[in-house]
Amino acid sequence: MTFVAPPGYQPVYNPSIPYLGPIYGGVRVGASVYIQGSVPENITRFRINLLCGESDSSDVALHFNPRFDGWDKVVFNSRKDGSWMSEEKIRRMPFSKGEAFELVIMITSKGFQTKVNGKDFFLFPHRLPVEQIRAIQVSGDVSIQTINIIGGGYPDGMGGGMGVSIHTPVPFSTWIPGGMLPKRTIIIRGSVPHGAQRMGFNLVVSRTRDVAFHMNPRVQEGVVVRNAQTGGQWGSEERQLSGSPFMSIRCGNQRFKVFVNGQHLFDFFHRTNFSEIDKLEIDGDVQISYVHF
């Protein structure tokens, strides 16, 4: 279950391996690369490269290479003008044979901060300018379910994010930088644990505590309930069947548009002034991998 990304970069689902694909608009400090996948029981190694071009021979800003070779380790490196630089070998293995993983590569001012399954792993210092990154490459013993670029190189409104929260505990509450604007999209990536019953997503006007948009996926009922609360009073509910509670929420001048797996699910017309919305709240039976504005 995944979310549609803002214009500029669309998530890649279940790519064939080896994979090489462009990152339109590039990346910048503050962006993150989110990868969900799994490794087989008989894994030997796999590679993830952030390339400064769109071919195998391009410079490599980041080479991420877990190796199961009896001395399990993860090798980091860069390549410039066809020559590899010195390797950084981290003799810890954050991946487990036969199991799924979530990898986040956070692009900071100091380097590439890697996180595996929500835990910091290693900060690899920049050796090439991140502004040169144009593609991502994956090869080796790995299956990939999702590749997503969070906060890419396009200006605001065209895919550049203003805020990213990674592996947040629930209940979760955050301010929306700059408030809601037309064409702003909120992207939430997560999973529903076994036995989950319901969860809630609220867009809130903090000044009045009005809930401009309340979305309540009820897993066992198979419905997504929508509503709004003004002056302490809930309005009439809207319902629609849905097998997947995760989605992106895009703000328009007249309505919120909600998407699941890139497919339009429903519209919810504004019942209060959307420009006053400045807070997102999430609670219930849900595990959040990231939230992106």
CATH class for the domain made up of 164-292: mainly beta
Q: How far does the chain reach from its first CA to its final CA, in angstroms?
A: 19
Q: Specify the pLDDT at position 286.
A: 78
The answer to whether the beta carbons of residues 4 and 258 sit under 8 Å apart is: no
Residue range(s) in the chain whose domain bears CATH number 2.60.120.200: 12-150, 164-292
**Is the link from the previous residue into 155 a cis peptide, with omega within 30 of 0?**
no
CA 225 – CA 277 distance, rounded (Å): 20
Query: Greatest CA span in the chain, whole angstroms?
Result: 66
Cα separation, 38 vs 93, whole angstroms: 14
Whether the ω angle into residue 6 lies within 30 degrees of 0, i.e. cis, is no
| pTM assigned to the model | 0.64
> How far apart, in whole angstroms, are the C-alpha atoms of residue 238 and residue 157?
29
Residue 286's CB is within 10 A of a number of other CB atoms, namely: 23
Which is it for strands 164-166 and 287-292: parallel, antiparallel or unpaired?
antiparallel
Q: What is the pLDDT along the chain (293 residues), one digit of tens a residue?
A: 333 343 445 678 889 999 999 998 889 898 889 898 999 999 999 999 999 999 999 999 999 999 998 899 999 999 999 999 999 999 999 999 999 888 999 999 999 999 998 889 999 999 999 999 999 999 999 999 888 887 654 444 334 444 556 666 788 888 887 888 887 777 777 767 777 777 889 999 999 999 999 988 877 777 788 999 999 999 999 886 544 445 678 888 999 988 765 667 788 999 999 999 998 988 887 777 777 77
CATH class (in words) of the domain with range 12-150? mainly beta
CA nearest to 261, candidates 252, 248, 280, 270: 248
> What pLDDT is attached to residue 72?
95
Strand partners, 148: 34
